[in-house]
């Protein structure tokens, strides 16, 4: 039994979800879920992420690459650990970066990093909101 297969079985058991219910919540056909559980297939990244969200476990743990089982929720973590006046914006965080691997980061590079990071985070928030519906 591969690590992905055993962890998927464990997460299913702990969650109390059936394979059919996991498939419904993750948007994956139940026959594909069954193939994962039987060890016939190993999930690709897209399905892995959907199953991890539905099972409320960390993707890396489900893949077998980390022992950290709890799912990290950046929105919840930020709201639990930082007071609004202490939270830093993307602009502030990127502005604090002056070099990467010993190479100076230019203002133009910092501007690009800000735009890319904001677009990525906005997409993740929209995906999470859609998942919650």
pLDDT tens digits for range 60-97: 899 888 777 776 554 444 445 545 555 678 888 888 88
Task: Give me the DSSP letters along 100-128.
Answer: ETTEEPPHHHHHHHHHHHHHHHHHHHHHH
**Strand 103-104 to strand 99-100: parallel, antiparallel, or no bridges (unpaired)?**
antiparallel
- pLDDT at residue 114 is higher than 70: yes
Its pTM surpasses 0.85: no
**Burial (CB count within 10 angstroms: exposed 0-12, middle 13-18, buried 19+), residue 22:** buried
- Looking at the DSSP bridge assignments, the partners of residue 100 are 103
- The DSSP symbol for 99 reads E
pLDDT value, residue 36: 95
Output the CA–CA distances (angstroms, integers) from residue 80 to 87, 95, 122, in the order listed.
11, 24, 20
Rounded to an integer, what distance in angstroms lies between the CA atom of residue 21 and that of residue 28? 10
- pLDDT at residue 46 is higher than 70: yes
- pLDDT at residue 119 is higher than 70: yes
pLDDT value, residue 86: 54
pLDDT value, residue 75: 46
**Burial (CB count within 10 angstroms: exposed 0-12, middle 13-18, buried 19+), residue 42:** middle
Q: Return the minimum-mean-pLDDT range out of 50-54, 68-72, 101-105, 108-112.
A: 68-72
pLDDT tens digits for range 4-37: 999 999 999 999 999 999 999 999 999 999 999 9
All structural domains of the chain: 3-63 (1.10.260.40), 74-132 (no CATH)
């Amino acid at each position: 039994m591969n690590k992905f297969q055993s962890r998927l079985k464990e997460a299913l058991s702990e969650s109390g979800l059936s394979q059919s219910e996991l498939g419904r919540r993750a948007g994956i056909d139940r026959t594909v879920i069954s193939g994962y559980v039987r060890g016939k297939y190993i999930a690709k990244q897209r399905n892995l992420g959907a199953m991890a969200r539905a099972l409320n476990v960390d993707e890396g743990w489900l893949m077998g690459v980390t022992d950290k089982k709890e799912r990290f929720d950046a929105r919840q973590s930020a709201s639990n650990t930082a007071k609004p006046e202490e939270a830093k914006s993307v602009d502030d965080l990127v502005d604090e970066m002056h070099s990467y691997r010993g190479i100076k980061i230019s203002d133009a590079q910092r501007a690009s990093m800000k735009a890319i990071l904001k677009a990525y985070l906005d997409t993740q928030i929209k995906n999470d909101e859609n998942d919650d519906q």
